[in-house]
Structure 1
Amino acid sequence: MRLLTAALSLLVTAALATPASAAPPDPQADLQNMADSYGRITGEGGQLQNPAYLPALVAATTGRYVEQLLTQVASPLRLSLTAGNLVPGWNVGNPLRAGWTDTRGRSQRVAFTNRYGALLRGTVWRPLPDARDPYTGKKLQGPFPGVVITTGSIQGSQGMYEWLAQDLAERGYVVLTYDVQGQGTSETLPHEDSPLNQPMVPFCNPLDCHGVPSQQLGNFTTGTEDALDFFVSDPKHQYPNENSAGASATSPYNPFWRSYDAEPVAIIGHSLGATAVSQVQGTDRRVATVVALDKLSSDGAEPRVPALAIQSEYFFEPTPAAEQPDPGRERATGYDAWKRAGLDTMLVVPRASTHLEYTDIPLVLPASRYGQALTSVYVQRWLGHYLKSRPAAPLLDTTFRYLEPVGNGRWEPVTLRRADLLSGYYCSAYSLDGLGENGDIADVGC
């Protein structure tokens, strides 16, 4: 009888200790969550619901593709054999953002060689002269903090991340987007160790072909470091551009160096780029903070600076939840390690989000309707605190205002409600100096 009583007691205790979220997910709610993961395409105001989207996509695709072809023709020995360079529309980003340059900010194409002589192409972004913050109306005062964005792998290209560069630039940052070697419009092969001793000719040692294939972590860590070197260059400290023979033109230094404050730099990366920036922040003393877009990683990384992690519910495709997901899954990849190190950190998991939230891709691949907007808001506020010494409290707001492009040169405000847009499966969390800790912002049962 005592054994039976003890067993019943244990069962009751376990039942009381089990959070409500441990019950199997509701099938209808799970199906709705998966459907919402296509919201960027099918949702209200999404790509198929906005009549301005398809005409803008055709125009932007044509213009970007012709531009890339002309750039390639000008450097015939610097071949970019990539999807971003060869497939129309791959590198176009969000066509509703057409007209941003010279109306909301400035941008300029740049090209520089990496340490292996491969030509990397990118874009530098900054505010307009005498610009005002589009959210507050306050005049932007330079010089501005710097941000370097590293793309994701599997042929991620800088055009897919222009949304974040533009959102930051118009709020008072100088931003570099670039394509790592072998992706986007950057060169595929290195220029070193050629048996012909011809630096103009690309050469790939089959036993040690640097940067080939592009899908390797080292390509993204060295890409981030070389991009930082270029970003902080100026006329007195020019970028070396080694083995640049055969390139039609390389940039000797950051053309927006006058606008840039050389001290605070943030690095942002997505996917394999997120893993790369997680590592680079631990070794590069120029980095003041890091933002990892799916996912912040403590594997091989030493937490050294404050880190914001934006992470997703799904990978490339939404899948049914056969059993109740582990609410702490997204905390374990990096957030917990940063918290243990005593560093400020925050984890945001958008609802119905996929690995592709952070890339602008037309019509095909899933992403939630407002995951990208929510990401931009948190990145803007995070960098506002850690690069501009603004208060951290707005990171904990429950509603946000975001300016969204709708086409024809117009940006319109939308209201984002945190309770509606955070995951109901996985914890979002923060541990911030002066603001305390909360390991379960969305109350999912961590």
Structure 2
Amino acid sequence: MRPSARLRRLVATALAGAVVGALTTAPAQADPPQADPQPSDPAYTARDVQNIADAYGRIQGPGGQLRNTAYLPALVQAATARSVQQMLTQVASPTRPAVTAGNFFPGWNVGNPLRDGWSGTRGLSRKVAFTNQHGALLRGTVWRPEPGARDPYTGRVLRGPFPGVVLTEGSVQGSEGMYEWLAQDLAERGYVVLTYDVQGQGTSETLPHDPGDVFPTCCSGVPFQQLSNFVVGTRNALDFFTSTPSRPYANPSAARGEATPFNPYWRLFDRSPDRRTATPGRTTRIAIIGHSLGAQAVSQVQATDRRVAAVVALDKLRGGDGTRPAVPALAVQSEYGFTVSPWFTSGGSSITPQPSPDGPDPMRERATGFDAWRAAGVDSMLVVPRASTHLDYTDIPLVLPASRYGQDLTSVYTQLWLDRYLKHRDNTAALLGGRFRYLEPVGDGRWSPVTLRRDALLSFYYCSAYSLDARGKAAARRTGDVTGVGC
């Protein structure tokens, strides 16, 4: 069907605006317009052009990668050091080849270089390696608070043992370093966190091993781009995370000294039965967090693994397709996918956009999982950061679109969600609040506070919503919009 003249004009206007927007810088956390223009109004397209420009804010926004003079020198230093370290690790393990982008492209796995110096000053970390059920060696890091440290936001002394978190990365060659930001933010506030690379990504081995065989075989877990790699990775990572010297992890097909026998921070993990859990039958204070295909994986695992007490899905929570909502779920979801497109291509999903001449559907992001959790009566919250892309949750240097404050907002909501369901803090007012404080790394070992204003940072296209049992009783369930469009 030939597009209408009006639609052709809108395409031309938006594309021209996108080019201009990519070369300009949006004001930090600009307030959305007072009036809500309609798709027929030129102001609607003008607002959309600004939104497209803001989707590149991590690179060119205030304090972004190109605006912070400390970023490029730190990137060169960190990328070089990490690349050499990874090369030496691979040379030392010739029978465990990791044929991945994260292992061979300098800077791919570096994360945010402004965070260098975190370990040893704001928290501690240890490198680990364990095999999955197919015998492939998975590499990761365990993060913890510093001994005697204080919460950087409240000043409270952090006293263990602490709740646990297992974080599963995204697909398309996501790597562990891209998610260190969230692990560090949680660890310095009183959590023990495991990040790792699934089979075939980052620095983890590409091929599996048959039991007892020194050399890799084929083809369980190959290719890497399949949901089962992320489900298997999440389950095996949970097994490793909960291991102890008396109950070590099995490490299938690993030779002596090749893998870490148990979680080195096992003493710090709170293993006490959680009698106050919001989900009957859940045995430990562990949350699982996943991004992209990892989000789909944790959506599945939460339904069947009795150790899991809460879940955070970063673009996107999955439900209503046979996945049973079982534990409280926070869904942080994006307006855009890997690319940024105008409002009249917002149909379908952010990952596979389709024409939408009538404008975005406010309910689009609810449908993937939040509505299923709400219908099941399980606590849930949906947050859609403004101008956010599928890459907001990954630290990638100087390329690919991501909003300036989406990652900050995601960290704040994740901290609040886990405080509520793993530490059992009554923080409804904070969850539904309009202003948050966040500490950003700015380089040279410094973290600087920023104020995040919710209404300016949430999507004006897509619904952000919640369904909470505010008093701990089903009869007291509260539902509603977080802000912005009607839900």
What is the TM-score when the length of structure 1 is the normalising length? 0.92
> Does the C-alpha gap of structure 1 residues 29 and 22 become closer, same or farther in structure 2, counting only changes over 3 Å?
closer
Matches of 2:484 and 2:453 in 1, distance apart?
15
Alpha carbons of structure 1 residues 23 and 101: separation in structure 2 relative to 1, 3 Å: same
Aligned-pair CA distance for 1:73: 0.7
Q: Distance in 2 between matches of 1:301 and 1:72?
A: 38
Distance 1:201 1:24, change over 3 A: farther
Match of residue 76 from structure 1:
94
Letter in 2 for 1:178: Y
Describe the SS at the equivalent of 2:68.
coil
Rate the CA distance shift 1:309–1:77 in 2: closer, same or farther, 3 A.
same
State yes or no: 1:363 paired with 2:385. Answer: no
2:215 corresponds to which residue?
201
Say if 1:74 and 1:248, in contact at 8 Å, map to a contact too. no
Deviation at 1:242, TM superposition (A): 1.1
Give structure 2 stretches of 5+ with no counterpart.
1-34, 272-283, 345-356, 472-476
Question: Where does the alignment leave 5 or more consecutive residues of structure 1 unmatched?
Answer: 1-18
* Cα distance in 1 between the residues matched to 2:39 and 2:99: 49
Determine helix, strand or coil for the equivalent of 1:267. Answer: strand
Specify which of 268, 286, 295 is matched with residue 274 of structure 1. Answer: 295
Given candidates 306, 321, 326, the residue that maps to 1:304 is: 326
Contact 1:20 1:445 in 2 (8 A): no
Name the structure 1 match of 2:115. 97
Distance 1:321 1:51 in 2: 34
Residue from 363, 367, 373 that aligns with 2:408:
373
Residue 229 of structure 1: aligned partner: 239
Question: How far off its partner does 1:171 sit?
Answer: 0.1
- C-alpha deviation, 1:442, in angstroms: 2.2
Higher relative contact order at CA 8 Å, sep ≥6: structure 1 or structure 2?
1
SS of 2:303's equivalent in the other structure is coil
CA contact (8 A) 1:21 1:445 kept: no
What is the CA–CA distance in structure 2 between the aligned matches of 1:327 and 1:108, rounded to whole Å?
A: 43
* Correspondence for 1:321: 343
**Structure 2 CA distance, aligned partners of 1:420 and 1:24?**
23
Residue by residue over 1:226-266, the C-alpha shift from the partner in whole angstroms, topping out at 9 and shown as x without a partner, is 00000000001100111013x86310000000111122000
| Counterpart position of 2:433 | 397
Deviation at 1:21, TM superposition (A): 6.7
Partner of 1:249: 258
Name the CA distance, whole Å, in 2 between partners of 1:133 and 1:172: 7
RMSD: 1.4
Give yes or no for the alignment of 1:44 onto 2:62: yes
Contact persistence 2:101–2:173 (CA under 8 A): yes
Contact 2:54 2:387 in 1 (8 A): yes
Alpha-carbon contact 1:427-1:439 (below 8 Å) kept: no
Q: Across the two proteins, how many residue pairs are aligned to each other?
A: 419
Structure 1 Cα separation of the partners of residues 36 and 441 of structure 2: 39
Alignment partner of 2:290: what SS? strand
Matching residue's letter, 2:54: D
Q: Deviations over 1:118-144 (max 9, x none)?
A: 000000000000010000000001000
**Is the counterpart of residue 444 in structure 1 residue 480 in structure 2?**
no
The residue number in structure 2 matching 1:57 is 75
- Which stretch has the larger CA shift, 144-153 or 295-304? 295-304
Looking at structure 2, the residues matched to 257 and 42 of structure 1 have their Cα atoms a distance apart, in angstroms, of 41
Aligned position for 2:388? 353
Q: Tell me if structure 1 keeps the 8 A contact 2:455–2:484.
A: no
- Give the CA deviation at 1:391: 1.2
Q: SS where residue 281 of structure 1 aligns?
A: helix
Output one character per residue of 1:324-372: Cα deviation in whole Å (capped at 9) or x when no partner: 1000000000000000000100000000000000000000011000000
**Which residue of structure 2 aligns with residue 264 of structure 1?**
285
Q: Does 1:212 align with 2:222?
A: yes
Q: Deviation string for 1:68-101 (max 9, x for gaps)?
A: 0111011101000000001000000000000000
Question: Among 117, 121, 131, which residue is 1:113 paired with?
Answer: 131
Residues 321-330 or 145-154, more deviating: 321-330
What one-letter code is carried by the residue in structure 2 that aligns with 1:57? L
Q: Name the SS of the counterpart of 1:273 in structure 2.
A: helix
TM-score for the superposition, normalised by structure 2 = 0.84
* TM-aligned CA distance change 1:24 to 1:152, over 3 Å: farther
Structure 1 pair 351/152, CA: closer, same or farther in 2 (3 Å)? same
- Distance in 2, matches of 1:24 and 1:243, equals 62
**Aligned counterparts, 1:10-21, within 5 A:** none
> Which residue type is aligned with residue 316 of structure 1?
F
Distance 2:127 2:440 in 1: 24
SS in 1 for 2:52: helix
Q: Is the 8 A contact 1:317 1:354 kept in 2?
A: yes
- TM-fit CA distance, 1:24: 4.3
Q: Partner letter of residue 82 of structure 1? A: T
The aligned amino acid for 2:95 is: L
Say if 1:350 and 1:423, in contact at 8 Å, map to a contact too: yes
- SS of 1:412's equivalent in the other structure is strand
Q: Could you tell me which residue of structure 2 aligns to residue 8 of structure 1?
A: none
* Preserved contact between residue 401 and residue 413 of structure 1 (Cα < 8 Å): yes
Q: Is the CA contact 1:21–1:444 (under 8 Å) kept in the aligned structure 2?
A: no
Q: 2:249 is matched with which residue?
A: 239
1:415 equivalenced with 2:458 (yes/no): no
**Equivalent of residue 188 in structure 1, options 199, 206, 219:** 206
Larger displacement relative to structure 2 (401-410 or 184-193) = 184-193
Partner secondary structure for residue 125 of structure 1: strand
For residues 321 and 147 of structure 1, the distance between their equivalents in structure 2, rounded to whole angstroms, comes to: 36
Question: 2:481, 2:48 → 1: CA distance?
Answer: 20
Alignment correspondent of 2:353: none
Describe the SS at the equivalent of 1:413: strand
| 1:27 CA drift (Å) | 1.0
